[in-house]
Structure 1
Amino acid sequence: MGVAHQWQPTSPEYQETMKYMAMHTPQRALNNLQCLIVQHLFELQKLNISQMAYKMRTHISKSLQMRCHTIQTAIKKYNDAASQLHPPCPPLEWSKVSHYSFLEEFNLLHETQQDIHDKMWARQAICETMQQWLHIQHAKEEIERCNVEVRRLHTFIVDEDWHFTCVLSSLEESPLYFTVQEFCKHRRLVNSQLLNRIFQISALPGFSGVASPGLRKGQVDLDVEGDGMDSILAGHEHQHEHDGDDETIEMIDDKGDDMQDIGTLVEYLLDLALTC
């Protein structure tokens, strides 16, 4: 065959080949285990993502349970292969693997053929930096969303107060006037607390939204100002102490139960008045 030099047990090539043959089975078991562990970690991370539908969470949970059984089988195969090495590698326990939350904790992966710890995304410091950067980007998106929602709430409070004024004016001669007035008083009290928080948000350093209320689509400019809104805006000119706010909130809570039934009746009557 034209082989000039045959390998001997002392030859480096012979020893390297024997080492490869001895490590082949454990290495394949370890590569399979590595793949399952990485998939398991990514599924765990996906399970913690907000705004995920219930069916998707249930599907991921079932997949994780099935993957756990697969990982246990892979660990058993690896331990069987690792015990045949000389010297044998320490066995891997499922109780430890199941608590791993990041690749850096899985030190056994250093012995794989393709060490993923050399990857930039697998380093814990870089991964945490990326997560913080993503949190900052999402926080900026949340600020934009909050600016929209805060102004929308501000606009709704102004429109509702004007609507209360119009309804009370139309019910001056009605026996329902005092019931509706009590309901409007309670709602205006709640709106005053919300409006106080809106003013506090608009006074924050770096506030990037619009402090004034907007105009609802399809609505004309309001020429009539509600009496309740005047008191709310006047209350904004004076800074409220926290104790006063707490007392107001307690008063709202005490009246909330009594107003629930009345509110249902009043809303039904208001709907009838608007449709007539």
Structure 2
Amino acid sequence: MILECPQLTWDQVLDYTFLADFNLLHGSQDDIHAHPWANQSLHLYMDSWFKIKQAEEEIRWLNIKICWVITHLHNEQQFLTNMESKVAQVDPPLVFQIRKYHLLQTHFAEQHMQCFQKLAALPGFTGSIKLGVSLNQSLHVEVANLHDVENNAIMYQGLVGDLSDTGNLAGDESDNDSSPKDDDEELHARYRALVTILED
């Protein structure tokens, strides 16, 4: 089978002479293994050099982030402690949840600090495990709107009282000997006992 090819005229050949100005194929007959960029050993040296530079940059960033984490853990502990003391006499159910979360975060922070101390003891460690100064001061601010917390506690107690009254109206066979004050004291006693168990 003979394929028909278009015939080139002399004018077209003269127009195609601009291809000679390109040097894309120049030196294609040379042995590329003789060039420095084709040397495998130089490839390894170059890759190692860039990896070292990247590792140095990563170490600088990690040293900063370690300080961030330690500062955040410390600020969070202070914030939770302040919140416990602020709402302890206002909303016992809320302070129970705060203390429960605080105990969990304390265990979490202790594990991280142990890891940071082991890291700081390694030879060649260039960072610091000292506390920094946080730009976000929200964890340092004490409860400014304590009045709102008191209102929430009053609403909560009122809601519990309404539900108790509804239950007494619905069930005639319920025990009416215990007063709401006794129920609150019993609830607080159970709460204090539960907090003591969690702290131990």
TM-score by length of 1: 0.38
SS in 2 for 1:197: helix
- The 1-side partners of 2:136 and 2:77 are apart by 17
> Residue in 1 aligned with 2:48?
132
1:122-201 map, 5 Å: 122-173=38-89, 174=91, 175-201=93-119
2:76 counterpart letter in structure 1: E
- The 2-side partners of 1:158 and 1:129 are apart by 44
- The 1-side partners of 2:102 and 2:117 are apart by 22
- The 1-side partners of 2:81 and 2:108 are apart by 16
Unaligned ranges ≥5, structure 2: 1-23, 141-147, 153-200
Where do 4+ consecutive residues of structure 1 move more than 6 Å? none
- The 2-side partners of 1:171 and 1:114 are apart by 83
Alignment RMSD: 2.8
1:149 counterpart letter in structure 2: K
- The 2-side partners of 1:168 and 1:117 are apart by 73
> Residue in 2 aligned with 1:267?
none
Per-residue CA deviation, residues 137-171 of structure 1 (Å, 9 max, x unaligned), is 11111111110011111111111111111111112
Counting matched residue pairs gives: 116
Shift of 1:219: 4.2
2:124 counterpart (184, 187, 206): 206
2:85 counterpart letter in structure 1: S
> Residue in 2 aligned with 1:72?
none
Greater relative contact order (Cα < 8 A, sep 6+): 2
Per-residue CA deviation, residues 81-112 of structure 1 (Å, 9 max, x unaligned), is xxxxxxxxxxxxxxxxxxxxxxxxxxxxxx94
TM-score by length of 2: 0.52
- The 2-side partners of 1:133 and 1:210 are apart by 26
